[in-house]
Chains A and B, each alone.
Chain A
Amino acid sequence: MEVRRPTIEDWDNPGDLVTINIGPSHPAMHGTLRVIAQTDGETIVSAEPEIGYLHRGVEKLGEHLTYHQFIPITDRLNYCSAIANNVSYEMAVEKLMGIKVPEKAQVIRMIMMELARIADHIVCIGILGVDLGAFTPFFYLFIQREEIYEIFEWYNGARLTNTFGRIGGVEADLPEDFEERWRKLLPNLKKAIDETDKLLTHNRIWMDRTIGVTAFSPEDALSWGFTGPCLRACGVKRDLRKDEPYCFYDQVDFEIPVGKHGDVFDRYIVRMIEMEESIKIIDQAIKIYKEFPPDAPLMAKVPKIIKPPVGEVYSAIEAPNGELGFWIKSDGSDKPYRIKIRPPCYMVYQAFPELVQGEMIADLIACLSSLNIIAGELDR
């Protein structure tokens, strides 16, 4: 069924439309996002996002820092799952230099990345609930997110900006009682996801507010460059963990959830199932991890000053939001010549005018939360 959305030509007198400015500082806009919407009553005729309020020139900074110095900068991209950014960048540099990372370090990276994915999805779902008036799941989930951050903090001392890993491996082994901690966290995490599911999924109000809202076709989504949960919600089975496996993802067993309509509800469900799949992955990864001897190497042989040969590579991983890629050009010196970051939500957010056209203003907020736009990653 084709949905025809009203456009600006459908109004006899465009002067009757009201222009509403939302953001850049607004409690319902996540971070510093701004949307200028033309409305007819409650209906959005056109919406134009304006970005750049959190532009810090990360790519320019990268050209003036050494390869190792840039790792903490990548924390500040998607600050909800900094570990995924770190690993993505490190993998790009390792690819550029042809370094093979020790297997044990790869497993540790995988475990940490999946923990970060759960934390990221928790933020997305929790905030989506808050924006739609369901406040309770937020607390249920955020308590568990806090526990995950405790694990991060306990691993390397930082909660949000982890600066995880080094070029060529990871800095430290997992602490001895990591599994114990995970086993302690697991039942509570499962329970929180379960309770959120019970509170939201079949809730009449929730369904009314999310089902069919800002539905998107798979063709449109691919043309707009969607990746990650937003693309999978549209019904395209694409996940870099399966399609271009890195680390140990080809040796663990997990499913890729796929939606059908690409609406807010599907994006929510895809994220909910992905959290459960991530738990499965971590359980299997810990099994793989335990096969390695305690003194197995964690770092590949990396020169002290990193000077990759002249060349250019692109390397991408499946970050919680989608394909997070780094394109690095080296001129043979100790600083990258050019770093280009391909943030997943940048591509998703540019389709925003098409997504919300013809919807209500309240749905604009719901759509924005469900896309999980992170300003740090969007503006770089």
Chain B
Amino acid sequence: MGLKEDVQNTLGELALDFLECQGDLSVTVPKDKIVEVLTKLRDNLGFNFLSDVFGVDNSVFYEKLAKAKAKKKKGEEDKEEEPKGPPPPRFEVVYLLLSLETNKRLAVKIQVPEDDLVVDSVTCLWKAADWPERETFDMFGIRFKGHHNLKRLLMWDEFPAHPLRKDYPLEGQGEERILEYND
């Protein structure tokens, strides 16, 4: 039995979507069930090692997909535009899991909409999530509920933006760190 079936059986309805790319499997799960899902995967499937946690800003990705779709349609025939559903959530948080026994890897993804940037922290399961979650907060502004020390990691504390978001320019916005010294 393949890994996909195992994950499907273990998670049941919690597995919303699977993506397979060059042998890498990733599964999308509901945002508010992430701790439950990871606990299940850890205890039942032996994914006992957390490799990494990071965020992805998908806003430009969806735009490009929509454009490509529109182009394709134009080439075929002028159809009426399909009714648009709600836009897909902007951010994604990816958890890279690894099973030390079978050496299998699995990516677990949750979709985080822009108006609700709060995710449960998984530091209760793996201490390794400590800094990666802080970095995700730093770079994307996603807050992790239950994290013991959620503050900026790489940028300085007063930094006003979240630099890995796609709308942040590569050259920066002229932020400067001004240190104030107390006599």
Query: Which residues of A come within 8 Å of B, CB atoms?
Result: 51-52, 55, 57, 59-61, 63-64, 95-96, 98, 220, 222-225, 238, 243-244, 311-314, 316, 323, 325, 327, 329, 331-333, 337-338, 340, 342, 346-347, 350-351, 379-380
Contacts and interface: CB of A to CB of B under 8 A. Distances in A.
Interface string B35-60: 00000000000001111101011001
Given A60-B163, A331-B64, A342-B51, A311 B127 contact: no
Given A313-B21, A331-B61, A350-B128, 4 more contacts: A312-B19, A312-B21, A314-B105, A379-B154
B21 A311 contact: yes
Contacts of B118: none
A282 B54 CA distance: 36
Contacts of B68: 332
A63 B105 CA distance: 25
Interface string B137-181: 000000000000000111110000001100010100000000000
B112 interface: no
Contacts of A223: 126-128
Contacts of B65: 331
Contacts of B105: 314
Contacts of B127: 220, 223-225, 350-351
A51 B64 CA distance: 35
A216 to B, nearest CB: 12
Contacts of B154: 51-52, 55, 379-380
Nearest to A61: B170
Nearest to A340: B54
B22 A313 contact: yes
A313 B128 contact: no
Interface of B: 19, 21-22, 24, 26, 48-52, 54, 56-57, 60-61, 64-65, 68, 94, 96, 100, 103, 105, 107, 126-128, 130-131, 152-156, 163-164, 168, 170
Contacts of B57: 338
Contacts of A338: 56-57
B24 to A, nearest CB: 5
Contacts of A346: 131
B55 to A, nearest CB: 9
B143 to A, nearest CB: 19
Contacts of B163: 57, 60
Nearest to A349: B131
A302 to B, nearest CB: 16
Given A314-B24, A350-B130, A52 B56 contact: no
Contact of A225 (B19, B60, B126, B152): B126
A346 B49 CA distance: 15
B21 A225 contact: no
Shortest beta-carbon contacts, A-B, top 9:
A225-B128, A311-B21, A52-B154, A350-B131, A55-B154, A342-B52, A340-B54, A223-B127, A243-B103
Given A52-B154, A59-B164, A95-B22, A323 B51 contact: yes
B26 A222 contact: no
A95 B61 CA distance: 21
A63 B52 CA distance: 19
A168 to B, nearest CB: 15
B22 A96 contact: yes
Contacts of A98: 22
Contacts of B168: 60
27 contacts: A52-B153, A52-B156, A55-B154, A59-B164, A60-B164, A60-B168, A60-B170, A96-B22, A222-B48, A222-B100, A225-B51, A225-B127, A225-B128, A312-B19, A312-B24, A312-B26, A313-B21, A316-B51, A325-B52, A327-B96, A329-B56, A331-B60, A331-B64, A331-B65, A347-B128, A350-B127, A351-B127
A220 B126 CA distance: 9
A331 B66 CA distance: 12
Which of A224, A225, A333 has most B Cβ within 10 Å?
A225
A338 B22 CA distance: 17
B153 A340 contact: no
Nearest to B170: A64
A306 B164 CA distance: 23
A316 B130 CA distance: 21
Contacts of A331: 60-61, 64-65
